[in-house]
Amino acid sequence: MPMIFKHFKQVLLPVDVRIHRNALAHLPKLVRRYGLRKVMVVTGPRTYEIAGRRVEQILSTGCGDCRFSLFIVKTASRGSAKKIEQEMRGDLGDYDAVIGVGGGKVLDVSKVVAYHSNALLISIPTNAAHDGIASPLASFKEKGMPISIKAASPISILADLEIIRKSPVRLLRSGYGDLISNMVEVKDWLLGVEKADEDYDEIVAGISTMPAMLLLKSADDLDFRNTDYLRLLVRGLILGGLAISIYGTSRPVSGSAHKFSHALDYLGYGKGTHGEQVGVGTIIMEYLHQHYYGEGDWELLKYSLEKVLAPTTGRELGLTRRQMLEALMYAKRIRPSRYTILEDQDPSKKDFEICLEKTGVCR
């Protein structure tokens, strides 16, 4: 290889990504394409009913002599992944692929098992609640604390819109919250570039923010019952995961809005999903960017969240005003090496009080 290429970044990209109706029917083709002879299907009790059973049928009838084992994961944890690996014992290295069929939690377990068994990962998401669908990171809660570990990236993603369309609408709204947070997270990243001499990649930043921008442009009409918007949402979340893979860290999709959500998790406050918490955090952090630098449009972000009926207030997350303020102050202590508007301006409690009042997040 010519020496010049040593300066380029080599990235492994998924090769078969499908986001359409009946995407599952593509599975036999993948089995043939990758020459899969032995696969393990990892699913959950509910997601088995939703899509796992169909995957089982497809593998039993339409995939030649490909053999498979089925694992039903009850809890999403590193322990569940370990349990599967122990059950496989000496066989672990024999599997060509892990097929994860489920929501983020099942997919996280699948990613870890695929990583440890050195197998290909095929991801079949049954909902679109966050950008973990395609990211190379697995997130779990251990002793009540969120942790994130390195795991496999999928070689293929079959996002069947008929299945995702039937998922709880709350999860789609959560996915939207996670997706539009990219708008503010990339502003944080640019602050890091400007103030802390951080590296930056415009291509990755574009991959992270463009789907969110497109959805925001249609804020007046947003409705995930509409296939075009649903596809754009799923595509955006998959691209968010890809942005992490390409850049190598979660920097393109995780900054101050995520710190707020992590603070709530650490403090054990509220009852929001990841995307719901991040969505509310996005309004607050976008307001701060606008307040200090005149960049952004927190009102548009809030309006679009309202449009899809996602939470835009602390109350909807089950939070009191005091808990919101405590979480915002706590967020400043999370991962201080990741430079965001919080590190940049070090807002006081009073600043946050004004912000909550102006944005209506705690009215």
| CA 76 – CA 87 distance, rounded (Å) | 17
Closer residue to Zn ion, CB minimum distance, 282 or 313 = 282
Q: Are 1 and 222 in contact (CB under 8 A)?
A: no
What letter does residue 43 receive in the DSSP assignment?
A: E
- State the nearest-atom distance from the C-beta of 173 to Zn ion, in Å: 14
| CA 331 – CA 346 distance, rounded (Å) | 11
Closer residue to Zn ion, CB minimum distance, 52 or 136 = 136
Looking only at the bridges linking them, the beta strands covering 156-160 and 137-142 are unpaired
265 binds Zn ion (CB under 5 A): no
Q: Which helix (H) or strand (E) holds 244?
A: helix 227-247
- State the nearest-atom distance from the C-beta of 301 to Zn ion, in Å: 15
Closer residue to Zn ion, CB minimum distance, 31 or 341 = 341
| CA 363 – CA 358 distance, rounded (Å) | 9
- State the nearest-atom distance from the C-beta of 348 to Zn ion, in Å: 27
Looking only at the bridges linking them, the beta strands covering 67-72 and 97-102 are unpaired
Closer residue to Zn ion, CB minimum distance, 117 or 209 = 209
Closer residue to Zn ion, CB minimum distance, 178 or 343 = 178
**What residues numbered 138-197 form the site for Zn ion, per CB under 5 A?**
178
- State the nearest-atom distance from the C-beta of 240 to Zn ion, in Å: 8
**What residues numbered 312-331 form the site for Zn ion, per CB under 5 A?**
none
- State the nearest-atom distance from the C-beta of 116 to Zn ion, in Å: 24
Closer residue to Zn ion, CB minimum distance, 40 or 257 = 257
| CA 277 – CA 317 distance, rounded (Å) | 7
- State the nearest-atom distance from the C-beta of 129 to Zn ion, in Å: 10
Q: Exposed, middle or buried, 46 (CB in 10 Å: 0-12/13-18/19+)?
A: middle
| CA 329 – CA 355 distance, rounded (Å) | 13
Q: Which residue is nearest to Zn ion (CB)?
A: 178
- State the nearest-atom distance from the C-beta of 263 to Zn ion, in Å: 14
Closer residue to Zn ion, CB minimum distance, 178 or 344 = 178
| CA 85 – CA 77 distance, rounded (Å) | 13
Binding residues vs Zn ion (CB under 5 A):
178
